[in-house]
Chains A and B, each alone.
Chain A
Amino acid sequence: MSNAVSVLNGASFSGLVKVADSGLGGMITLRGDHASATLQAVVKSVTGAEVPAIRKITFGAAGAVAWMTPDELLLLVDYAEVDAVVAKLSEALAGEHHLAVNVSDARACFSVEGEAASEVIAKVAPVDLAPGKFVAGDFRRTRFSQIAAAFWLDEAGVYHVVCFRSVGEYMFNLLKTAAHPQSKVGVYA
């Protein structure tokens, strides 16, 4: 919808890495039994992806699915499709205890791209980002300095970071600071 604006409206910064507001993405919190065949089937049908294992994200033709807790998944789909997907989930899971809710607008999303991306993130998140330790398809809920965040690495080597919308500006400024051109650590890149 033309009225909808992401938190930093597409802002970007280039330093040690390129940090950019990824714009609006569709996100759905789905709580339910990961082992349920119905749940697995509907997740697959709306995203094309399998239910991921712990600390993983899986990708499909129409979206991605991230592991949040033992009974919670985060579905990433097209922003315009969210309501339709929530409706499909609710319909398919009507017979099971579950909760599917649109959280697309509650989030700010950023991409962190470049050779030094691991090092930049390792300045603010207590995660082992040494080569081979955090690989494409890994997903982590953690903190970025003072705020809650989640991130994953895609096949192209780009990190994707998600936080709450209200602190999106803090996240962008934090990543900008960590990506200051003269602050290279030089252990991974």
Chain B
Amino acid sequence: MSTRLAKQGRLIDRSKQVEFSFNGTKLKGFAGDTLASALLANDQMLVGRSFKYHRPRGLVASGSEEPNALVGLGVGDRFEPNQRATTTELFSGLSAVSQNHWPSLNYDIGELNSKFFSRFLTAGFYYKMFIHPRPLWKHVYEPFIRQSAGLGKAPNKELKDADTYEHFYFFADVLVIGGGVAGLQAAKTAAASGAKVLLLEEKSYWGGRTPVDGGTIEGLEAEAWVEKTLNELNAMDNVTIRNRTMASGVYDHGYVLGYERLTDHAPGQGGPRHRLWRIRASQVVTATGAIERPLSFAGNDVPGVMLAASMRDYLVNWGVTPGKKVVVATNNDDAYRTAIALHEAGVEIVRLVDARESGGGELADKARELGIRVECGRAIAKVKDGKRVTKVAICAQNGEGGAREEIEADAVAMSGGWSPVVHLWSHCGGKLIWDEAQAHFRPDPERAPTSHDGNAFVVTAGSASGPLSLSAVMADAAAAGAKAAEAAGRPAQSVAAVETSEVSEAPMEAVWFMPAKADIQLRMKTWLDYQNDVKVSDVQLAAREGYESVEHTKRYTTLGMATDQGKLSNINGLAVLADSLGAEIPQVGTTTFRPPYHPISMGAIGGEARGEIFQPLRKTPMYEWHDKNGADWEPVGHWRRPFTYLRPGESKHDAVNREVKNTRENLGLLDASTLGKLIVKGPDAGKFLDMLYTNMMSTLKPGKCRYGLMCSENGFLSDDGVVARIDDDTWLCHTTTGGADRIHAHMEEWLQTEWWDWKVYVANVTEQLAQVAVVGPNARKVLEKLNAQAGGGMDLSKEALGFMEWKDGEIGGFKARAYRISFSGELSYEIAVAASEGQAFWDALMEAGKEFGVMPYGTECLHILRAEKGFIMIGDETDGTVIPQDLGLHWALSKKKEDYIGKRAQQRSYMDNPERWQLVGLETVDGSVLPDGAYAVGQGVNANGQKNTIGRVTSTYYSANLDRGIAMGLVKHGPKRMGEVIDFPGLDGKIYKAKIVDPVFYDKEGEKQNV
């Protein structure tokens, strides 16, 4: 059984007990524990069930490489699935539940199923089995598979994350990732040059695993050296250090994401939970250490089978032993350290099997001296299945697993050698090289990730480079720190050799199968990828079925595709694949390492963007007034515009109809501030606008307005609006609300890339002005009343300010520009005042308008009024495939101009074609409202057996003024078919019959706007 020992545990504070719960059971740990060490201290060997077979699983590792111990952490609005017990610091009140089990962790139905069916659940099983018959997938297979597979539960969708998050931008000359002895040494060396250094460590403590492994640096024990170095770094102004901050990804041009976990170890203490550091570094040093590999023997996933060095971590760091009778299996010297440490702590090492015939070096001798039974050339044949280790069968390594000796044990420590953590090196293109001696891929310093200038910007340090001995690690780290500083433009200091002492080790020997010729029964019980339940036999099957590429094999078997991204399984899986293909490992290559190194929270990615600052909302100066007066908001880009103003108890439909009638009969006010307003000025401005608009703008007289169309270079209608000529070389162009920024950019693009020598300046003054449309028969009266109240103002009579004219002056004491333009067909003024005075102007209009029946109106009323007049709307009548000719706007296409943007495109045969659908009005025979977007059907069917379409509805409304449905649409040969009735099948099954009519439904002569 696993238990807490009376001694050891350098990271825990035994005076501070911490209570927590696992699957509802109250347990106790100490301050400084991880959830993993605390579970082991409570003999909780079983921590979860595997993904596919629901096999019992326990802790394998002690760090972020842990594949099994994923738990649901927290409750309610702080619940989060798939949290690693090994990287979760214990805190008082922590609540964890195991995952992927039903009905309970101890008794799981899925496990029984998999015992019966596991021989069917091989690689590719799902692909092969569930493809036929097709309909069964959606209704039978998928629901079943989703039920039985999957890891954590999604949080309750009704609850919102209780925590906050933020980002932080930081710039450094040298970023050192990893606060082990190598990272500390690299940071110290780089900092000595004066470079600005940022040092990140993902754990709460510094020094990595050297304090566990032993050895001395500069005459000090590792732990003391770490403390001394940390103090030195802290004292330097040019060094910033952060623990609990993991570098999750290295991206182009030295961009690195750091994931700082501020309150995970103390939830609810206030402030952001995670901070995402968005770092730009000239140089990145990855001192990310190495990960121990499991050995591939049958039953290597039984709870209690653990990586040897991780077992040592639990002992030294947290005073926990996973067993009382431990078998150690290894192919290298490092595992002897575990055997020795456990033995010295009073744990019985029942056997140490070393797959190497020649055995180990100094450490092996020491183990023997201590009386540990060491057997060379021996292997584990099998660990007996169960919820914990009970029996281990030992055999010869160089055999098929026969002639076994069975021994009793309650834990197994395994070591298959070490692989450098190359993930961060690889994220941005760093290449790897196969190291035959260590049997691992290590970074190839000749092929580093390169930056914009082609120079390397990542350098590895310590065991992340490959070397495993302390002396080599420290020398490499010092060199890496100096190299990075120099590359970042800081003159390198001469690097003094770091004095170290350590024991020498015998070479490791690659062991990819244990035993070497394990039979199929053993291989089917030998796990490569714990989290995704991929076995040696699965990879071999994939190879037999023709999956030669490692990337294909990965996807077929799901090897390395789990949340641990194959940290433990990668090399072992490659080796098995290479063996099956009869190829060398370097020829097979590796899969691609992608960010994040370790999953980060969605909250951290979103940062502060939630609640009221989830997305910027653009608000006009009158926004608050609208909101207080019943505005039903409609998003228009990032703007919010009132769709209609609801009165108490009123439906939207009724409110819109009220506004529609009132505007035609009395007086309506529209907040038109969102319309784009672009000033275009310069000696070449007229020429420029003649190119941008389809019609002529250079001939417009100052004081006059003209409606204009803009097309893309492909001829399609892009935007429209009224242009006013301000003076000889200045025009003001109105755009649609959504077009303001787009058309501004369009103008700048043509000016900067094509007509860079034309003298034209453009300024976007959209937000400088609040603009109010004053519309209806009483429009002039209300404005004249304001002027009368102010004791004078601009003359707004028909004679002084005619239709399609503008004028500067004062209205009601406000400095204003008035445009006599109308999008409704009524007498209408659009008045622009300074945005800061917009609300005051609106208030004045509302007050003065009372006697004239003033009502504000929203965008829906605006749409209906324009549709009654047959005016097109960009985005309704246009969709990026419509040209002005389709809409009967020939009158707005200048024939005099040699060119305008879109002209030549409109002359192409497909554009200049009478078969194109044309704009018409549509009136339902029964007065009902046509469904929006409905298609008209004609004779015959197309190649797919569908009815041929001959048109579609582009705008459709109920017109309160006409008391019937009105619509516009594009119809084949439309204008020539006036009076014909065509069919529009609705989604409701009904056929809507509509007569083709003129698109102008109201005041065809245009008398009302011209009074």
Contact = CB atoms under 8 A, between A and B. Distances in A.
B836 A6 contact: yes
Interface stretch (B81-89, B161-169, B862-870): B161-169
A166 B639 contact: yes
Contacts of A164: 618, 767
B271 A126 contact: no
B679 A124 contact: no
Contacts of B653: none
25 contacts: A3-B841, A4-B834, A4-B840, A5-B621, A31-B763, A97-B682, A102-B768, A105-B767, A105-B835, A105-B836, A105-B837, A123-B167, A124-B608, A125-B169, A127-B169, A130-B196, A133-B171, A145-B607, A147-B616, A164-B618, A166-B618, A167-B618, A167-B638, A170-B613, A173-B612
Nearest to B640: A166
Given A106-B835, A173-B612, A183-B166, A99 B766 contact: no
B167 A124 contact: yes
Contacts of A31: 761, 763
Contacts of B682: 97, 99
In the A-B complex, the 10 residue pairs with the closest CB atoms: A182-B271, A3-B840, A166-B618, A106-B767, A99-B761, A4-B836, A105-B835, A106-B768, A128-B171, A170-B616
Nearest to A146: B616
B760 to A, nearest CB: 8
B272 interface: yes
A45 to B, nearest CB: 21
A103 B836 contact: no
A103 B765 contact: yes
Interface in A129-178: 129-130, 133, 145-147, 164-167, 169-170, 173-174, 177-178
Contacts of A3: 814, 836-837, 840-841
Contacts of B209: none
A167 B621 CA distance: 11
Interface string B757-784: 0010111011111000000000000000
Contacts of B835: 105-106, 165
A135 to B, nearest CB: 15
A133 B166 CA distance: 23
Interface in A19-65: 24, 29, 31-32
B271 A183 contact: yes
Given A174-B608, A177-B608, A97 B613 contact: no
Interface string B871-894: 000000000000000000000000
Interface string B166-187: 1111110000000000000000
Interface in B753-812: 759, 761-763, 765-769
A105 B167 contact: no
Contacts of B621: 5, 7, 165
B836 to A, nearest CB: 4
A29 B275 contact: no
B648 interface: no
Contacts of B613: 145, 170, 173-174, 177
Interface residues of A, number: 51
B615 interface: yes
Interface string B144-168: 0000000000000000000010111
Contacts of A147: 616
Contact of B166 (A97, A123, A166): A123
Interface centre among A98, A106, A127, A166 (most CB of B within 10 A): A166
Contacts of A183: 164, 166, 271-272
Interface in B678-724: 679, 681-683
Given A1-B837, A123-B169, A124-B167, A166 B620 contact: yes
Contacts of A32: 761
A145 B167 CA distance: 9
B848 to A, nearest CB: 15
B391 interface: no
Contacts of A106: 765-768, 835
A120 B723 CA distance: 43
Nearest to A165: B767
Interface string A91-106: 0000001110111111
B469 interface: no
A71 B196 CA distance: 35
A122 B271 contact: no
B220 interface: no
Contacts of B834: 4, 104-105
B169 A29 contact: no
Contacts of A101: 679, 763, 765, 768
Given A105-B768, A167-B616, A174-B608, A99 B840 contact: no
B840 to A, nearest CB: 4
Nearest to A177: B608
Contacts of A29: 763
B598 interface: no
A25 B682 CA distance: 27
B836 A5 contact: yes
Given A106-B765, A167-B617, 9 more contacts: A3-B837, A4-B836, A5-B621, A99-B682, A103-B765, A122-B168, A133-B171, A177-B613, A187-B170
B278 interface: yes
Contacts of A123: 166-169, 608
A80 interface: no
B619 interface: yes
A189 interface: no
A109 B869 CA distance: 42
Contacts of A174: 608, 613
Contacts of B814: 3
A164 B620 CA distance: 11
Contacts of B767: 105-107, 164-166
B928 interface: no
B544 to A, nearest CB: 51
Given A4-B834, A177-B608, A122 B170 contact: yes
Nearest to A32: B761
Nearest to A182: B271
A185 interface: yes
A127 B169 CA distance: 7
Interface string B656-693: 00000000000000000000000101110000000000
B609 interface: yes
B580 interface: no
Contact of A185 (B168, B270, B766, B839): B168
B240 interface: yes
Contact of A103 (B609, B620, B763): B763
A178 B608 contact: yes
B810 to A, nearest CB: 12
Contacts of A1: 837
B738 to A, nearest CB: 14
Nearest to B674: A166
Contacts of B278: 126
A146 B609 contact: yes
A130 B171 contact: yes
Interface in B579-638: 607-609, 612-613, 615-621, 638
Nearest to B768: A106
B906 to A, nearest CB: 32
A161 to B, nearest CB: 14
A128 B240 CA distance: 14
A88 B196 CA distance: 48
Contact of B169 (A104, A126, A170, A184): A126
A128 B168 CA distance: 11
Interface string B256-278: 00000000000000111001001
B227 to A, nearest CB: 21
B271 A180 contact: yes
Contacts of A104: 768, 834, 836
A183 B276 CA distance: 13
Contacts of B763: 29, 31, 99, 101, 103
A176 B125 CA distance: 54
Contact of A122 (B169, B240, B761): B169
